[in-house]
């Protein structure tokens, strides 16, 4: 059996789109599931799109997500170089072979002529090169080459008949050859087009399974014609469905959620993002949804990839991220959360205690500051918050609770969670009321918020004695004013 070899072939355009990362993941999983090789190839032949620093983003993302490549520009391998711009002589050599076979030809048409052809076609999609230069004689071609005229090399596609190709996800697809444009293989700057380079490289690098976005489906017949022209084996094609923002719009660069870096910056965990992305267009065939990379390697069967577009569901991603956060060791959560604490808390508090309260409540790390601002400073709040039907509290009994509580609090020592709890519960017994009548007003006075991570004991414990007394006094003042 031939060893499975797949490649992730990003163009260095400056960021890792969720769609690209999914392609990388599926490509990796297909190789590793079969015990094969995962190769990284950089497709940088479109020099205009090249963005400084883009390579680092690619390497860093693969490293962060654990998609470790077996061969690539940084680690080498037997079929390098792995950067297309370093392979230009290879492409030219193969393009010339096609010319010799009559499968490709030089084209000297000027930009103006091509623009006119384009303008005369009904839509830009209908545009097809008219094979003008195919009819040049050998002598004419040689003359033009000798005179240094700029040229491109085009594929020579038949005008009749049908080309069929097979995709593992989309099945057999037939295209009339009359629809196939004589696409450019080598550009006037000497660089190959993606359309040509991908075929040459996939063959020379021994790629057995080509995984990429469905936007390349319509070009696949032209790639097949190239493989056939060279007499090369066609790889297995696995085109992945598009990722949509909603039923009508593709996930796009402009939408802030579209890149891996954006998601990490927003406080998603890389493991959760990877897990979620795995499910965008694939399912394991059962209800299980939480998978680490190892489990994905074991489970992933590309035959279960869907044809239909996948919707990027932020709510689901949030939920999944929350599940991953819950499973973190407390110390790890604490260190991930710390920068977010620092955004709103400049006091020195016992952050580990805050982490204990928060870990089960946070879905995305960037939500943290909103949960915590009251630890830094008591917000201005309305006394309406003391009135709670279920807790059976009103302005009068709340005032009574706080007034009775204050001297106990002032006398409390040492300041520990257990002592604070005992102090509150003693008051419950003393007043012979339900817990809520004591705990609701205290928590409200301590936080000024309707809902908080943790209750009265935890908050008092974290903010400390002095601050707790200060806040209870503010509560008493507010309620006295109301009750007058
Ligand atoms: N360089 C192409 C891209 O970044 C990759 C297409 C492919 O995987 O064949 O979209």
Q: How much is the average pLDDT of 220-231? A: 96
pLDDT of residue 46: 81
Res. 256 pLDDT band, cuts 50 70 90: low
Judge residue 37's burial from the number of C-beta atoms within 10 Å of its C-beta, 0-12 exposed, 13-18 middle, 19 or more buried.
buried
- pLDDT of 409 over the 80 cut: yes
314 CA to centre of ligand 1 in angstroms:
25
The residues, any chain, with a CB within 8 Å of residue 407's CB and separated by 6 or more, are none
pLDDT of residue 158: 95
pLDDT of residue 80: 93
DSSP string for residues in 142-162: HHHHHTT---EEEE---SSSE
Res. 246 pLDDT band, cuts 50 70 90: confident
> Can you say which residues are annotated as belonging to the binding site for ATP?
253
9 CA to centre of ligand 1 in angstroms:
5
pLDDT of residue 15: 83
Per the DSSP assignment, residues forming a β-bridge with 209 are 6, 236
Looking at the CA of residue 211, tell me the nearest atom of ligand 1.
Answer: 8
> Can you say which residues are annotated as belonging to the binding site?
107, 109, 133, 135, 253
Distance CA 380, CA 378 (A): 7
User: Candidates 6, 8, 10: which one to mutate for ligand 1, based on the most atoms within 8 Å of Cβ?
Assistant: 10
pLDDT of residue 25: 98
User: Candidates 213, 215, 222: which one to mutate for ligand 1, based on the most atoms within 8 Å of Cβ?
Assistant: 213
Looking at the CA of residue 8, tell me the nearest atom of ligand 1.
Answer: 8
Distance CA 100, CA 133 (A): 15
Q: How much is the average pLDDT of 31-52? A: 89
Q: In sequence order, which ranges of 74-183 are alpha helices (DSSP H)?
A: 88-101, 111-120, 138-146
Query: Which residues have a catalytic role annotated?
Result: 253
Q: How much is the average pLDDT of 111-139? A: 90
Looking at the CA of residue 7, tell me the nearest atom of ligand 1.
Answer: 8
Res. 451 pLDDT band, cuts 50 70 90: very high
Average pLDDT, the chain: 94
Length of the chain equals: 484
pLDDT of residue 399: 97
466 CA to centre of ligand 1 in angstroms:
61
25 CA to centre of ligand 1 in angstroms:
14
SS3 label, residue 122: coil
Distance CA 403, CA 174 (A): 83
pLDDT of residue 123: 76
Q: How much is the average pLDDT of 40-55? A: 84
Q: How does DSSP classify residue 79? A: T
pLDDT of residue 146: 96
Res. 248 pLDDT band, cuts 50 70 90: confident
pLDDT of residue 14: 81
CB 12 within 8 A of CB 50: yes
Looking at the CA of residue 212, tell me the nearest atom of ligand 1.
Answer: 8
pLDDT of residue 255: 64
Looking at the CA of residue 43, tell me the nearest atom of ligand 1.
Answer: 1
Measured by CA distance, the residue closest to atom 9 of ligand 1 is: 212
Q: How much is the average pLDDT of 401-414? A: 97
Distance CA 17, CA 49 (A): 15
307 CA to centre of ligand 1 in angstroms:
19
Distance CA 132, CA 445 (A): 83
Residue that wins the pLDDT comparison between 1 and 289:
289
Q: How much is the average pLDDT of 430-436? A: 96
Looking at the CA of residue 10, tell me the nearest atom of ligand 1.
Answer: 4
CB 238 within 8 A of CB 169: yes
User: Candidates 11, 40, 196: which one to mutate for ligand 1, based on the most atoms within 8 Å of Cβ?
Assistant: 11
pLDDT of residue 1: 80
- Residue identified by tokens 């300041």 is 415
Half-sphere exposure (CA, 13 Å, Cβ side) for 13? 12
CB 22 within 8 A of CB 280: yes
CA dihedral 359, 364, 367, 371 (to 10 degrees): -20
107 CA to centre of ligand 1 in angstroms:
26
409 CA to centre of ligand 1 in angstroms:
66
Q: How much is the average pLDDT of 73-92? A: 96
> Can you say which residues are annotated as belonging to the binding site for Zn(2+)?
107, 109, 133, 135
Kindly state the percentage of the chain with pLDDT values over 90: 89
Rg from Cα positions in the chain: 32
pLDDT of residue 249: 85
Res. 125 pLDDT band, cuts 50 70 90: confident
Q: How much is the average pLDDT of 186-211? A: 96
Dump pLDDT digits (tens) for 151-162: 999 999 999 999
Distance CA 19, CA 142 (A): 45
User: Candidates 16, 47, 212, 218: which one to mutate for ligand 1, based on the most atoms within 8 Å of Cβ?
Assistant: 212
pLDDT of residue 126: 77
Q: How much is the average pLDDT of 24-39? A: 98
Measured by CA distance, the residue closest to atom 2 of ligand 1 is: 10
Residues with CB under 6 A from ligand 1: 9-11, 43, 194, 198, 212
Q: Which CB contacts under 8 angstroms, 24+ apart, belong to 102-105?
A: 102/156, 103/155, 103/156, 103/225, 103/226, 103/229, 104/153, 104/154, 104/155, 104/156, 104/185, 105/133, 105/134, 105/136, 105/141, 105/153, 105/154, 105/156
The residues, any chain, with a CB within 8 Å of residue 248's CB and separated by 6 or more, are none
pLDDT of residue 100: 97
The residues, any chain, with a CB within 8 Å of residue 322's CB and separated by 6 or more, are 362, 363, 364
């Amino acid at each position: 059996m031939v060893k499975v070899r797949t490649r992730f072939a990003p163009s260095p355009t400056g960021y890792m789109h969720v769609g690209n990362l999914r392609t990388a993941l599926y490509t990796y999983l297909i190789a590793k599931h079969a015990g094969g090789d995962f190769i990284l190839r950089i497709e940088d032949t479109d020099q205009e799109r090249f963005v400084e620093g883009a390579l680092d983003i690619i390497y860093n993302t693969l490293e962060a997500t654990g998609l470790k490549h077996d061969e690539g520009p940084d680690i080498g391998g037997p079929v390098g170089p792995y950067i297309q711009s370093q392979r230009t002589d290879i492409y030219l050599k193969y393009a010339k072979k096609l010319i010799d076979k009559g499968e490709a030809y030089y084209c000297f048409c000027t930009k103006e002529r091509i623009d006119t052809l384009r303008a005369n076609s009904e839509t830009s999609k209908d545009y097809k090169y008219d094979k003008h230069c195919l009819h040049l004689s050998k002598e004419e071609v040689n003359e033009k080459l000798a005179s240094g005229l700029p040229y491109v090399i085009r594929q020579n596609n038949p005008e009749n008949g049908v080309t069929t190709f097979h995709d593992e996800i989309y099945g057999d697809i037939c295209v009339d050859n009359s629809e196939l444009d004589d696409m450019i293989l080598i550009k006037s700057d000497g660089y190959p087009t993606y359309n040509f380079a991908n075929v040459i490289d996939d063959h020379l690098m021994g790629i057995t399974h080509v995984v990429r976005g469905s936007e390349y489906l319509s070009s696949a017949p032209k790639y097949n014609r190239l493989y056939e022209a060279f007499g090369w084996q066609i790889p297995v094609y696995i085109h992945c469905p598009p990722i949509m923002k909603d039923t009508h719009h593709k996930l796009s660069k402009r939408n802030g959620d579209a890149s891996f870096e954006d998601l990490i910056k927003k406080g998603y965990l890389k493991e959760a993002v990877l897990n979620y992305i795995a499910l965008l267009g694939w399912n394991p065939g059962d209800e299980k949804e939480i998978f680490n990379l190892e489990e994905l390697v074991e489970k992933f069967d590309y035959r279960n990839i869907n044809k239909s577009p996948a919707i990027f569901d932020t709510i689901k991603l949030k939920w999944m991220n929350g599940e991953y956060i819950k499973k973190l060791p407390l110390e790890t959560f604490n260190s991930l959360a710390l920068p977010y604490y620092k955004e709103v808390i400049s006091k020195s508090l016992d952050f580990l205690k805050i982490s204990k309260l928060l870990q089960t409540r946070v879905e995305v790390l960037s939500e943290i500051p909103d949960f915590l601002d009251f630890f830094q400073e008591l917000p201005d709040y309305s006394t309406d918050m003391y009135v709670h039907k279920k807790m059976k509290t009103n302005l009068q009994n709340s005032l009574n609770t706080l007034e009775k509580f204050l001297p106990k609090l002032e006398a409390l020592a040492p300041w520990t969670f257990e002592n604070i709890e005992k102090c509150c519960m003693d008051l419950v017994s003393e007043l012979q009321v339900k817990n809520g009548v004591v705990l609701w007003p205290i928590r409200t006075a301590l936080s000024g918020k309707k809902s908080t991570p943790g209750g009265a004991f935890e908050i008092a414990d974290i903010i400390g004695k002095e601050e707790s007394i200060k806040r209870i006094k503010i509560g008493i003042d507010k309620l006295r004013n109301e009750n007058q």
